[in-house]
A and B are shown apart, each in its own frame.
Chain A
Amino acid sequence: MSATKLKPVDVVVVGSGVVGSIMSMELASAGLSVVCLERGKQFDVDTDFQKPNVYDELKFDRHSDVFQNLARDTITFRNNNAQTALPMREMGAFKPGEMVGGTSAHWGGNARRFLPHDFEMRSRIEERYGASFIPADCNLQDWGVTWDDIEPYYDQFEEIFGVGGKAGNLEGEIQAGGNPHEGPRSREYPNPPTQRTHEGALFADAVTSLGYVPFQGPTAAMTADYRNLYRVQMLECARGGFCSSHVCAQGAKANPLSAVLPALARQPSFELRPLCNVLRVNVDSIGKKATGVTYIDARGNEVEQPADIVILGAYCFSNVRLLLLSGIGTPYDPLTGKGVVGRNYAYQQGGSVQVFFDDREFNPFIGGGQVNTSIDEFNGDLIDRGPLGFIGGAYINTATSGATPIKGKRVPPGTPRWGGEWKKAVAQYYRRNMSISIHASCLSYRHNYLDLDPTYKDAYGLPLLRMTFDWNDNDLRMMKYMNERCTEIARALNGSRLGGTNKGTHFAITGYQSTHNVGGAVMGSDPSTSVVNKYLQSWDVSNLFVVGGSAFPQNPANGPTETIGMLACWAADAIKENYVRNPGSLV
């Protein structure tokens, strides 16, 4: 069966999440004809996520149809090469999305920039500690960009997503009330910071007594009614919880649906095609130029969409898999260390210490929209890592994210898993605990990578992506250190008892941890260790841009979404301002 071949367009964009929507908007408003292909369904925020139905933990967190349908497509996973990778049969450690709006339609709104250090981590660590301080099997890399290059694009993204916060560093001047350790900002946040909860105030007192500087973490849930850069209106967050995993009924959480698509839909040169599953990027006979993409449309027809520019703007896994399925770039081989596609896959480290009180009570169901009080002293490379013997960092915070009744309960250590004692403990402590949480970096290592699975196939008969990943000693040492710092903070809170999570030394794909999967198609300045250049342009195919979490050479501590959005703005600008006038390699 031959594919229907459509009329060429200037740009075809794969995915309608943060990257796909912003890049489509930027390029369509510059006059280019843009087609955006999305494998998921179209939703209407005003009717599909109405009150009260959105306030349903079972429907959205456990059985969600805004998450990827694993019956059609999943990944396989193993801890190391000696094992056989098996399919992720049900959603566990992470929850990639599948809808117009992408994964960020149900994100938690954690809108932190990375630190200047993060973009030049290899150079700076070598400079401070010497190259031998970096673990031998760690593929630590610079991004090929510096803070001064990309700061304007963080600023642009924040004006689109209406980020609320208080600047801690304005053009080098430290500001009271903000995060003094953040990179210098060119201007204040577009929206005010969140208010401090009871838990946040207790945390702030505790960390101040230990010499740290508390601040309200930035958020992409509106802290005031806001009209964004694209003239789209978003309403102030109602703090009703049901935030992460859920699409906001208020439209208060910035995401492609609430912040970009209403403006994008009005662009005359833009077309969105939902329920279209891209199978591959097509390239010319010598493999140097992309000719477009081939996809299966909603009715099951195979369709070829020719385009002058192809942008892969999908989730990390999908970007890497499409490169591998299309035969673009050399697949990574962990035995030789050669090849680049699938190399430098990384995840996110996390943990927490719980404080249980018998004399304090909270309202843990009020919150969401990333209301948190944080410290950044342990992030980046502020504290001398020499004596500590690890690289990487974390921010530590307490967040009131809206504790839901199925998954939001905490009980002290030693409580039985079920039965009468467990019942008494959840009744006593659901409202009487707070978490001191660690959100930490995860570096890239030679043995952690992505490739195509030799056995398992998706619904179209194509190989699943295979993830080979385990925690590394360096990162586990860092987590031990961070856990000790959290315990000190927790002790200063004078609770009755402390608890914690011990997730073991091997990564498990069960139990939700974070949807922050990154790498596999990383950006950089050396084609032997990166898939795309500093403008997210393929080294091999110059009219192909691969944009998203897949471009991170390793994962810094702060959540990835803000930087994914920034990279979309940065790459779109490079295409508009330079590539269109002078097609070819931008470096």
Chain B
Amino acid sequence: MSDNPSGASYLYLAEPEIRFLEAAVEHLIPTDELGPGARDAGVVVYIDRQLAGSWGVHGRQYRGGPWLEGTPQQGYQSRFTPQEAYRIAIREINQYCKAEFDRPFAQLASDRQLRLLEQLEKDEIALPSLPSKFFFDLLWRNTEEGYFADPLYGGNRDKVGWKLLGFPGVPSGQYRELLTSSEPYYAEPVSVLDVQTGKVPVDAEGFPKHVITKRNTNKES
């Protein structure tokens, strides 16, 4: 069961899809001593928002046929929109898991899930409707986006992705003076969301004032 600790709401994804994605993205960016993984960063909420929005239906992408498979150099040629690709692929991966292991993906042991993800990435599992690598690449692209995009979009909760990197987010007005500095600069990350909601004040030029920290507390070194 998804325990939904943050009380997230979902616009597109259904419960079995949420369970699948929470299990899968946690392997892609796991929780460890460096900090929360993709699941707790809200990446599944991010994916849901993206699928429900313009990108999920390829609103600005060329959608005319005919659809041919093409070469790897020719890029995205699926006739499925991201919405369709997620819905179809998750159903078919769960059917595969039930046929092979009697359980859907989310209920398998962690090492089994990890192995399945590796097989999907290598296109070693033949899904009926789309290449498994195509879906894996889409999932990984969105997982990375969700972990590192502005928290505006539902992922990167508490700016965990930015804390992991030591990325301060919205720049301060001091950067021009710091351009030549060889001193590492660390600050509490500021998001667009922080400024929009008034959580972080801005100066007359519109730049947030950074709170300088000695070093990222989430880091091992």
> Which chain A residues have a beta carbon within 8 Å of chain B's beta carbons?
50-53, 55-58, 62-63, 65, 67, 69-71, 74, 77-79, 83-84, 86-90, 92, 195-198, 201, 236-242, 249, 361-363, 365-367, 371, 400, 405-406, 409, 417-420, 422-424, 426-428, 430-431, 455-457, 506-510
Contacts and interface: CB of A to CB of B under 8 A. Distances in A.
Given A419-B30, A426-B164, A507-B73, A86 B68 contact: yes
30 contacts: A51-B207, A53-B196, A58-B150, A65-B60, A70-B62, A71-B63, A77-B73, A79-B71, A87-B64, A89-B58, A90-B76, A198-B182, A201-B180, A238-B176, A238-B207, A239-B176, A240-B171, A240-B175, A366-B179, A406-B148, A417-B140, A418-B140, A418-B143, A423-B30, A424-B32, A427-B218, A430-B165, A455-B66, A506-B73, A507-B73
B144 interface: yes
A176 to B, nearest CB: 20
A51 B202 contact: yes
A508 B61 contact: no
B70 A86 contact: yes
A424 B34 contact: yes
A409 B192 CA distance: 20
Contacts of A55: 150, 169-171, 192
6 nearest A-B residue pairs (beta carbon) = A240-B171, A51-B206, A405-B148, A508-B73, A52-B195, A58-B149
Contacts of B185: 363, 366
Interface string B130-170: 00000000001001110011101100000001101111111
Contacts of B5: none
B4 interface: no
Given A423-B30, A427-B164, A57 B179 contact: no
A227 B208 CA distance: 27
A387 to B, nearest CB: 33
B77 A405 contact: no
B63 A56 contact: no
A239 B179 contact: yes
Interface of B: 27-30, 32, 34, 37, 54-55, 58-64, 66, 68, 70-77, 121, 140, 143-145, 148-150, 152-153, 161-162, 164-173, 175-176, 178-182, 184-185, 190, 192, 195-196, 202, 205-208, 218-221
B219 A427 contact: yes
Nearest to B194: A52
A409 B165 contact: yes
A405 B28 CA distance: 17
Q: Chain B at the A interface: mostly helix, strand, loop or mixed? A: loop
B171 A195 contact: no
Contacts, number: 191
A342 B109 CA distance: 57
A419 B37 CA distance: 10
A87 B55 CA distance: 18
Nearest to A405: B148
Contacts of B184: 361-363, 431
A201 B180 CA distance: 9
A510 B73 contact: yes
A249 B206 contact: yes
Contact of A197 (B59, B75, B179, B196): B179
A78 B68 CA distance: 12
Nearest to A68: B60
Contacts of A508: 72-75
A86 B66 CA distance: 9
A196 B180 CA distance: 6
Contacts of B205: 51, 238
A418 B38 CA distance: 11
Nearest to A51: B206
Given A86-B70, A419-B27, A405 B165 contact: yes
Most buried by A among B62, B140, B171, B208: B62
A195 B208 CA distance: 24
A56 B164 contact: no
Given A83-B71, A427-B34, 9 more contacts: A58-B149, A58-B153, A88-B75, A198-B181, A363-B181, A405-B165, A406-B144, A409-B165, A423-B164
Contact of B60 (A63, A236, A362): A63
A195 B34 CA distance: 35
A501 to B, nearest CB: 16
B64 A456 contact: yes
A52 to B, nearest CB: 4
Contacts of A86: 68, 70, 74, 77
Given A71-B59, A71-B62, A238 B73 contact: no
A119 B105 CA distance: 61
A58 to B, nearest CB: 4
A456 B63 CA distance: 10
A87 B74 CA distance: 8
B167 to A, nearest CB: 5
Contact of A237 (B32, B64, B176, B218): B176
Contacts of A249: 206
A367 B184 CA distance: 14
A86 B195 CA distance: 43
B66 A367 contact: no
A434 B149 CA distance: 22
Contacts of B140: 417-418
A426 B148 CA distance: 12
Contacts of A506: 73
B162 A69 contact: no
A405 B167 contact: yes
Contacts of A236: 176
B29 A423 contact: yes
B178 to A, nearest CB: 6
A422 B30 CA distance: 10
Contacts of B37: 423
B74 to A, nearest CB: 5
A195 B207 contact: no
A52 B206 contact: yes
Given A86-B74, A89-B75, A238 B62 contact: no
A236 B166 CA distance: 26
A321 B66 CA distance: 21
Contact of A53 (B148, B192, B220): B192
A87 to B, nearest CB: 5
Nearest to B206: A51
B152 A56 contact: yes
B167 A78 contact: no
B202 A366 contact: no
B162 A88 contact: no
Contacts of B182: 198, 201
